[in-house]
């Protein structure tokens, strides 16, 4: 077990991170110093599940903002590419990384909707934190597909979800439930939209999945397993916010139950439903199922 150590950051860096998210006002539960519990959770997941130490990881941080996750991972030796469509906060993060000699952390202005493996390569871990719920359908699905291509191992998602399935959207002949949320007023200019750093970059509405639909979407796109992180704890985490870990690996095939292999989840459910109501047969005076 590797012993933990910390780097001493300058006062300007600590002030930057202490003010993270405070633009949203007092209703943002995990802004400022309270964001510490979220950063702790993401770093612990990365350390526990990535399969390699930080210095051996290539990490992609999408929608990085001021780059607190990128910088924390970079301080641990990871190679990090931090991307954001806005530069207001990102420039502060880049300056912080430069002041502390983090040559392995790079910042670049990019729209997540146009980030693909063909242009940026692949990454051991992808962070999609506080961004997914700002995307509208169908862009949210194409982003998840692109992220699947970018990811070699783990995708970490922290996102708001809808607790009700008010609307349905269709993607690749599958139906997903959620809620449409307003990001900007119809008449807002591009300049006004870009100035709101805690909102979408331009789309007027966003689509928030229900939890069940988000899990299905990740599975349908190709992730082999998805986990809901409960520990490390996040005091103050909203009821409609979750942290998921999606794993990209090879689907297992069973010898003990070969009927399940190569079937979709809908086909498996259909077989199980039919089996549940199948009439038992009687052989040799004993009931057989």
Question: Which DSSP letter does residue 91 get?
Answer: H
- Given a cut of 90, is residue 26 above it in pLDDT? no
CA distance 35 to 20: 8
pLDDT band at 279 (very low <50, low <70, confident <90, very high): low
Asked, for residue 180, whether it belongs to a domain, the answer is yes
Asked, for residue 262, whether it belongs to a domain, the answer is no
- In 122-154, which positions are buried (b, 16+ CB within 10 angstroms) versus exposed (e)? ebbbbbbbbbbbbbbbebbbebbbbbbbbbebb
Helix (H, G, I), strand (E, B) or coil at 70: helix
Whole-model pTM over 0.75: yes
Tell me: the pLDDT tens digits for 248-278?
999 999 999 999 999 999 899 999 999 887 7
CATH number, residue 128 = 3.40.50.150
Mean pLDDT of the residues in the chain: 93
Asked, for residue 154, whether it belongs to a domain, the answer is yes
Residue-range definition of the domain harbouring residue 28: 11-253
Tokens standing for residue 19: 């003010």
Asked, for residue 75, whether it belongs to a domain, the answer is yes
- pLDDT for 287 equals 47
Asked, for residue 275, whether it belongs to a domain, the answer is no
The CA-to-CA distance between both ends of the chain, in Å, stands at 49
Tokens standing for residue 212: 């069940």
- Total Cβ atoms within 10 A of residue 74: 25
CA distance 236 to 241: 10
263 Cβ contact partners less than 8 Å away, ≥ 6 residues apart = 271
Helix (H, G, I), strand (E, B) or coil at 175: strand
CA distance 82 to 66: 9
Asked, for residue 113, whether it belongs to a domain, the answer is yes
Asked, for residue 284, whether it belongs to a domain, the answer is no
CA distance 64 to 245: 18
Question: How many domains, in total, are found in the chain?
Answer: 1
CA distance 133 to 29: 17
Inter-residue contact 161 to 176 (CB < 8 Å): no
Helix (H, G, I), strand (E, B) or coil at 151: strand
Tell me: the pLDDT tens digits for 113-158?
999 999 999 999 999 999 999 999 999 999 999 999 999 999 999 9
- Cα 174–Cα 132–Cα 136 angle in degrees, nearest 5: 60
Return the percentage of the chain with pLDDT > 70, whole number.
Answer: 94
Asked, for residue 84, whether it belongs to a domain, the answer is yes
DSSP string, 206-262: EEEEBHHHHHHHHHHHT-SEEEE---S--TT--TTEEEEEEE--PPP--SSSGGGTT
CA atoms 55, 121, 161, 107: torsion sign:
positive
């Amino acid at each position: 077990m590797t012993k933990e150590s910390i780097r001493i950051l300058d006062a300007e860096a600590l002030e930057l991170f202490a003010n993270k998210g405070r633009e949203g006002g007092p209703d943002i539960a995990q802004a400022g110093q309270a964001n510490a519990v979220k950063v702790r959770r993401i770093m612990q997941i990365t350390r526990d599940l990535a399969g390699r130490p930080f210095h051996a990881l290539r990490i992609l941080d999408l929608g990085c903002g001021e780059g607190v996750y990128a910088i924390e991972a970079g301080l641990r030796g990871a190679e990090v590419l931090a991307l954001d469509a806005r530069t207001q906060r990102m420039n502060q993060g880049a300056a912080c990384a430069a002041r502390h000699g983090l040559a392995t952390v790079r910042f670049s202005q990019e729209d997540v909707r146009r980030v693909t493996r063909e242009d940026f390569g692949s990454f051991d871990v992808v962070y999609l934190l506080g961004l997914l719920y700002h995307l509208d359908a169908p862009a949210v699905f194409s982003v998840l597909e692109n992220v699947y291509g970018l990811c070699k191992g783990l995708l970490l998602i922290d996102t708001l979800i809808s607790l009700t399935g008010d609307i349905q959207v269709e993607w690749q002949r599958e139906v997903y439930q959620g809620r449409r949320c307003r990001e900007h007023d119809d008449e807002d200019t591009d300049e006004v939209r870009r100035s709101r750093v805690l909102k979408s970059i331009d789309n007027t509405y966003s689509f928030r999945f229900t939890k069940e639909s988000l899990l299905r979407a990740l599975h349908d796109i190709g992730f082999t397993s998805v986990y809901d992180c409960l520990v490390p704890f996040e005091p103050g985490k909203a009821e409609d916010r979750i942290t998921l870990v999606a794993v990209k690996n090879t689907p297992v095939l069973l010898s003990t139950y070969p009927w399940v292999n190569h079937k979709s989840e809908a086909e498996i459910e259909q077989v199980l439903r039919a089996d549940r109501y199948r009439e038992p047969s009687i052989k040799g005076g004993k009931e057989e199922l």
